[in-house]
Chains A and B, each alone.
Chain A
Amino acid sequence: MTTVAPPPTPPAAGPATGVRAPGLRTAPPRLGARRPGRRGLSVVANAVAVVFGLAWLFPVYWMLNTAFLTDRQIQQRVPVLFPVGGTGSHFAQVLSSPAFWSAMRMSLAIALVVVLGAMVFGFFASLALSRFRFRGRTQLIVAVLVVQMIPAEALFISQYRMLDGWGLLNSVAGMSLLYLGASIPFTIWMLKGFVDGVPVELEEAAMLDGCSRMGAFLRITFPLLGSGLVASSIFAFLASWNEYTLALVALTSDDSRTLPLWLTSFSGQNQVTDWGAIMAGSTLMAVPVVILFMTVQKRMASGLTAGAVK
């Protein structure tokens, strides 16, 4: 018999996946460099680490670099390594394109519905799973995990036919429904970890003072879940913002494109690919993601292992 999850302590606790939330660490233990006489090893380790870091940094740098280069510089035979004498015109080009703003509106509308729906429904369900004991509860918790493992590709044929039949292709409602199906299980799992961390005694005290059970949930537990709700919202937002596969299937018309679809609409045409604009668009799409990502980076790994965004 094993326990499902350790009760995390509020408010800093993350969802319980059993893996300590990784993040930037301040004091790494040192496996080899501790003893004198290992200076040589340490120098090699530093050098390799720098190369490793640069290799992973390069694509990000190359995106930014190209976004700021002029078309002439981009098409030059020899790659231009630094955006000296560059331009902001690609960003201006993207920001003045109606297609970009249409995709932005679509992406934001869908993300808003998904975040709100996932938070409300996920909060309710996590209360039920955390605070009550009923038959089928264990199976339900396992189901929450299993559902997250279903690949979009395994169901999108049928999901397409379903939305088609209901006239919900190319709509915010249809797209949001599919994304909610993917986000809710994850939100439940994550919020359950946070609800588990709120002492039930607080609710019981409120109930002895005359609060109803639901009232205790809403007035006592809900405000204590602040950081959990913020983190889960960001996860749900990122999942919907970055999603490509289901959007490709369910949003077939040009004016219902989300940002990921819009980004691929540049390529695939016969004319010379406008790499400057594509890199500017990629950058614009990545900036909010990177900012939100940094705010939840300590929970990111534990969230991902529970099957969240990828």
Chain B
Amino acid sequence: MSLALRRRPPARRAAVPLSSRSDRRLALLLLVPATATVLLALGYPLVRQLGMSFQRFGLEQQFGRPPEFVGLANYQAMLTDPTFWAVLGRSVGFCLLVAAITMAVGTAGALLLTACSRPVAVAVQVVMLLAWAMPVLSSLQVFQWMFDSRSGVVDHTLAALGFDQMLGFNWFAQPSTFFAVAGLLVTWMSVPLVVFMVYAAVTQIDSSVLEAAALDGAGPAQTFRHVVAPSIAPVLALVTLLQIIWDLRVFTQFHVLQSNGGITEQTNVLGTFIYQVGLAGGDYGSASAAAMLLLLLTLLIAARYIALLLKEPA
């Protein structure tokens, strides 16, 4: 797609008593500090990582042995390793499921706000803001505490409801419940943004259109399907892609929750896998190859997202 950059009328530019050459030089100068910093912080590591992904670069190399160029061997090893595919499958599955649930709950929440009374709607929005503002580490600690096997409120509540076997249940000791808690946490953190985005889109719908639909006898379901859904579709697409990008890269939640259960191998997602292979295991070559694959995957989704972001009409 092309970006038509808004041009001022040429006549007006002529009023600026500066040659375009000095303009260009100033523009270049203004760009240098930002560009140089980003290139140093991200560009240089990226290039080095690409190089490392083509090298045998393990513990020996850290102690001085020169890295050996091995071509695509790291990628080949990674792509034929069932562990990698298990991790990738887990990441993608978790990401899609959590993103779908987040979108469903968030959209439902936004529509709920339009249907309930004003004081309730305002109160719910305040709660959403509060939950949204919570630092990820604070939320993580609260969820670990709520699901604590010793005196956590969840186990006790479930036991009180008659599920006696849940008393003292360790949620972090088996993959299925581990993923359930992680999913719940990520959903809890992500829903507020969806609620606000979708709610903003819904409130932008011309109220006369809604009135016309009501006059024509459309019920809430029909109104949603034929009036609301088409109007908020662009926002939904944008937010869904954003959720997928974010949920694919979950690291913090998994890394911290993994410290509880000791079942790291079975709960690894891409981020924690790369961390363990590279930083904990010292195999920089393999970890770099896995990281480049994660980067590729993210950029493929991000390309679609950015195209939507730039196309979105005002």
A-chain residues with CB within 8 Å of residue B271 when the two chains form the complex: 151, 153, 245
Known: A63-B138, A120-B33, A181-B42. A204 touches B15 (CB 8 A): yes
Query: A104: CB under 8 A from chain B?
Result: no
Find out whether the CB atom of B134 lies under 8 angstroms from the CB atom of A181: no
Find out whether the CB atom of B138 lies under 8 angstroms from the CB atom of A147: no
Find out whether the CB atom of A301 lies under 8 angstroms from the CB atom of B122: no
A-chain residues with CB within 8 Å of residue B270 when the two chains form the complex: 153
What is the 8 Å Cβ interface bit string for chain B, positions 270-309, against chain A (1 contact, 0 not)? 1100110011000010011001101100110011011001
**Nearest A-chain residue to B184, judged by Cβ:** A59
Query: A271: CB under 8 A from chain B?
Result: no
Complex formed: what's the CA distance from A19 to B45 in Å? 34
Complex formed: what's the CA distance from A282 to B143 in Å? 12
What is the 8 Å Cβ interface bit string for chain B, positions 89-126, against chain A (1 contact, 0 not)? 00000000000000000000101111111101111111
A-chain residues with CB within 8 Å of residue B133 when the two chains form the complex: 286, 289-290, 293-294
Complex formed: what's the CA distance from A31 to B40 in Å? 51
Of B41, B114, B313, which contacts A178 at CB under 8 A?
B41
What is the 8 Å Cβ interface bit string for chain B, positions 250-261, against chain A (1 contact, 0 not)? 011001100110
Find out whether the CB atom of B3 lies under 8 angstroms from the CB atom of A297: no
Query: B200: CB under 8 A from chain A?
Result: yes
A63, A185, A200, A241 interface centre (most CB from chain B within 10 Å):
A63
Find out whether the CB atom of A242 lies under 8 angstroms from the CB atom of B137: yes
B-chain residues with CB within 8 Å of residue A201 when the two chains form the complex: 12
Of B132, B202, B256, B299, which contacts A300 at CB under 8 A?
B132
Known: A18-B313, A23-B196, A294-B133. A264 touches B256 (CB 8 A): yes
Find out whether the CB atom of A122 lies under 8 angstroms from the CB atom of B34: yes
B-chain residues with CB within 8 Å of residue A17 when the two chains form the complex: 309, 312
**Does more than half of chain A's interface fall in helix, strand or loop, or is it mixed?**
helix
Chain B residues numbered 161-219 whose CB sits less than 8 Å from any CB in chain A: 188, 191-193, 196-197, 199-205, 207, 210-211, 214, 219
Least CB distance from B92 to A in Å reads 14
Query: A260: CB under 8 A from chain B?
Result: yes
Query: B264: CB under 8 A from chain A?
Result: no
Find out whether the CB atom of A149 lies under 8 angstroms from the CB atom of B37: no
Find out whether the CB atom of B151 lies under 8 angstroms from the CB atom of A45: no
How many residues does chain B have at the interface if contact means C-beta atoms less than 8 Å apart? 137
Of A129, A260, A268, which contacts B137 at CB under 8 A?
A260
Complex formed: what's the CA distance from A9 to B69 in Å? 55
Chain B residues numbered 31-69 whose CB sits less than 8 Å from any CB in chain A: 31, 33-35, 37-38, 40-42, 44-46, 48-49, 52
Find out whether the CB atom of A29 lies under 8 angstroms from the CB atom of B210: yes
Complex formed: what's the CA distance from A24 to B259 in Å? 38
| 24 A-B pairs (CB sep. < 8 Å) | A16-B314, A19-B235, A22-B199, A24-B125, A29-B114, A31-B111, A31-B115, A32-B220, A32-B223, A59-B131, A122-B34, A124-B30, A124-B33, A150-B295, A154-B295, A157-B49, A159-B41, A178-B41, A207-B18, A213-B26, A242-B136, A260-B135, A282-B141, A286-B134
What is the interface of chain B, defined by CB distance below 8 A to chain A? 1-8, 12, 15-18, 22-24, 26-28, 30-31, 33-35, 37-38, 40-42, 44-46, 48-49, 52, 109, 111-118, 120-139, 141-146, 148, 150-151, 153, 156-157, 188, 191-193, 196-197, 199-205, 207, 210-211, 214, 219-220, 223-224, 228, 235, 238-239, 242, 245-246, 248-249, 251-252, 255-256, 259-260, 270-271, 274-275, 278-279, 284, 287-288, 291-292, 294-295, 298-299, 302-303, 305-306, 309-314
Given contacts A142-B306, A208-B17, list 5 more A-B pairs with CB under 8 A. Answer: A79-B151, A125-B31, A153-B294, A161-B45, A293-B132
A-B CB proximity, top 6 nearest: A181-B41, A18-B312, A22-B200, A149-B302, A158-B49, A293-B133
What is the interface of chain A, defined by CB distance below 8 A to chain B? 1-7, 16-25, 28-35, 41-42, 45-46, 48-50, 52-53, 56-57, 59-60, 62-63, 66, 74-79, 117, 120-122, 124-125, 127-129, 131-134, 137-138, 140-142, 145-147, 149-162, 177-178, 180-182, 184-185, 188, 200-201, 204, 207-208, 213-214, 241-242, 244-245, 248-249, 259-260, 263-264, 267-268, 272-273, 275, 278-279, 281-283, 285-286, 289-290, 293-294, 297, 300-301, 304-306, 310
